[in-house]
Structure 1
């Protein structure tokens, strides 16, 4: 039997999915990048916090995109935990541990020559008479209300103008004109720190945006402090995942590097003291659907990337995601799981067995912690573990604590624990007035007069663990462990 292809870029990832039934749909049906691609995938496999009807399904590759005859669009590559596990060669339940190990054994990126960089097979310079990023890039417009076409999976790469340290992150990028892109920074993001330093000196900041890369890079790029402090290049985590350094290449028009195997690379500069309204071309007042499940408001003053060049592979593939989809949950949530595992293991070894950054929180707002109490002195430590997580990750809003016999990836099992092992008046811990995430619409003074400023929230711990002294009274019904494949061979694999 032929072994599956090793994944090192987007094309090898798609090749692997082709070998697994039900993981990829390829369609040559004509599709309009304006609202149709996301409109289709909403039904096929978006999941996450997308308004129902939606659900878990295969990734899709659209090969007949209107206005872009030589390009395709891929969506939903990471929109199921099972598919992420397949692409990272790991069981879905152990993904947090895989990333935790990669953080502890990072591999620094390496630079290759332009001759080895497939991302530079075709080059378009901004000085070319027909240069227009809107025709070169098949960037989808997610809904009819969006501020414009968005790049949702661009690996933004820039360097600190003072130290030279480089970083990669994913940001909301809206195509604003033939050579301008707006970029939205959540406060505190590292590339914004670099941009502010350059702007203070009156200088532009060189930046590259690599699109369509190895899924390991997309996951690694979503790590945040304190796991990856300022100066930590998350591409080294992707190297740790693959046990092979990520290959970079020097850009052709700016002094920065880009990911060598990307499908597309945007080369440009973040301009000092230049701002645009995100919806200047549509005046809808809205940006695009964001991970909490709502359409984010258009920002009226965003920094601008002045594009100097576009490079791409022959017959390139634009990769996109729906902001509130399970794909965001995978990218934002699994690094959070790894970080919580790393911190709690240092503080209380062996107690936290696993973590799930739940889809209902977009991978950011909610986590389920599986905690094992082995001695009487462990009572109360489960709440300490939750406090460690909440203190480290400002975006976490709710934590549910469960025992080792609860499947944290099964929401029904978690809710069962909430219903049979939780009393609201004694097992709820409130932490009011704590800074959280600005995209949660309930975190505003308009929602509650007790909230002082937008983005401040009441963080909450739901302790659904059994008190240690009562564990013997909360044993689940014990069934005989029979191999079901003898009786239902079509439903069960005896080797699983």
Structure 2
């Protein structure tokens, strides 16, 4: 992470905050007002960073590709990076969360939350890595939101069924591409291999005392998830609204490892970094799925759609039905997607005015809008019904084949 921050410094994308700053509301509020990386030199007496991956330009820089090639590059990944055993993790001390500048982001939050912590787990030979928000209960425990059916929750159920706890290690302050990999749905157990591929082909990992393997990080918290539960929430999620309060599992930390003068990484809930990490990992998945039914050019999950619920897909039509097939492929690839617009190659999907122009001039409401009812959507969408179902809308904003001259805009040669 330190190398990436230095790279961003060289590009003039880091703002140094030298004056003292509070972890309660102040730092999060500052992060909401800029897309620059904020480096806090005195975050309640500690060092911290926010907005590490707040835009696509930063993600492209981390990958070493042009921003315009970002989705295509990610769509070509094969999850085959080399994970290298670098030995045991040494030098730990008893866990003490009071030593870390964990933030309280909004007045309605139930408490201080870890928002960038990657939960690495390992059970019965199977590994997983994913980000879970974690509310601090005391100096050694947090309560984590474990989404039912996701891999961490599945491994926990297996461990509890055998009367055992699930060993975990939480990292804070990893390279942003490792964080990105942990946010991506990959084949089972491939998160570390994917991270290795993203960073250039190889990723060293060290083993904690409980057997869990972790990559380089500023902070590592080692412990176990048990059957114990506690109240989790309220907490602001991706839409900027409060997620429901739930009973969730407790993680008890037994040990912590820190680099000298560690840099704490905080992600602002519903901020640009949160939206990018939630949505951008699905863009290559949609890209590949649409590529199975037509010629795909680009995919974007829009910032206005919370970076997660709204998508725009750019295609080159080969047959008149391609746009509607692309709509169905996009919904299948990203089941939380609520509204998707499919456009032609001449529309800039990163310009919302251009996308609106396509809707205004190329859509007939009676033939070009698909409405699908009674389908599973995102649990984060406030419009969902009590059974979790919702409505999806697909918009074919492409030109009618054979009549392209009637739709093309005038341009200078």
| Alpha-carbon distance between aligned partners in 2 of 1:62 and 1:171, rounded to the nearest angstrom | 23
SS at match of 1:63: strand
1:400 aligns with 2:364: no
1:279-290 → structure 2 map (5 Å cutoff)? 286-290=233-237
| Alpha-carbon distance between aligned partners in 2 of 1:479 and 1:232, rounded to the nearest angstrom | 52
SS at match of 2:311: strand
Q: Which residue number in structure 1 is paired with residue 223 of structure 2?
A: 268
SS at match of 1:13: helix
User: CA-atom RMSD, angstroms?
Assistant: 1.6
CA shift digits 1:261-292 (9 cap, x unpaired): 20001101001x211112xxxxxxx4222111
What is the Cα deviation at residue 142 of structure 1? 0.7
CA shift digits 1:190-245 (9 cap, x unpaired): 11100011111111000011111111111111112xxx24x232221121122222
TM-score, normalised relative to structure 1: 0.80
User: Which one of 32, 37, 48 corresponds to residue 22 of structure 2?
Assistant: 32
Q: Does the 8 A contact of 1:333 with 1:363 survive in 2? A: yes
Q: Which residue number in structure 1 is paired with residue 42 of structure 2?
A: 64
Q: Which residue number in structure 1 is paired with residue 116 of structure 2?
A: 153
User: Which one of 270, 295, 311 corresponds to residue 242 of structure 2?
Assistant: 295
CA shift digits 1:25-56 (9 cap, x unpaired): 0111111111111011112x2xxxxxxxxxxx
SS at match of 1:269: strand
Q: Does the 8 A contact of 1:125 with 1:310 survive in 2? A: yes
Unaligned residue ranges in structure 1 (runs of 5+): 1-9, 46-56, 127-131, 279-285, 446-452, 481-496
The structure richer in strand per residue is 2
User: Which one of 77, 83, 92 corresponds to residue 123 of structure 1?
Assistant: 92
TM-score, normalised relative to structure 2: 0.96
What is the Cα deviation at residue 355 of structure 1? 0.6
1:96 aligns with 2:71: yes
User: Which one of 257, 263, 273 corresponds to residue 213 of structure 2?
Assistant: 257
| Alpha-carbon distance between aligned partners in 2 of 1:166 and 1:202, rounded to the nearest angstrom | 19
Task: Determine which structure has more spread, i.e. the larger CA radius of gyration.
Answer: 1
CA shift digits 1:85-127 (9 cap, x unpaired): 122211222211221222x25214222024xx6xx5x52224x
SS at match of 2:274: helix
Q: Which residue number in structure 2 is paired with residue 348 of structure 1?
A: 293
1:162-311 → structure 2 map (5 Å cutoff)? 164-224=125-185, 228-229=186-187, 231-252=188-209, 254-259=210-215, 261-271=216-226, 273-278=227-232, 286-299=233-246, 301-311=247-257
How many residues are matched?
413
1:427 aligns with 2:390: no
CA shift digits 1:148-176 (9 cap, x unpaired): 11111111111243xx1211111111111
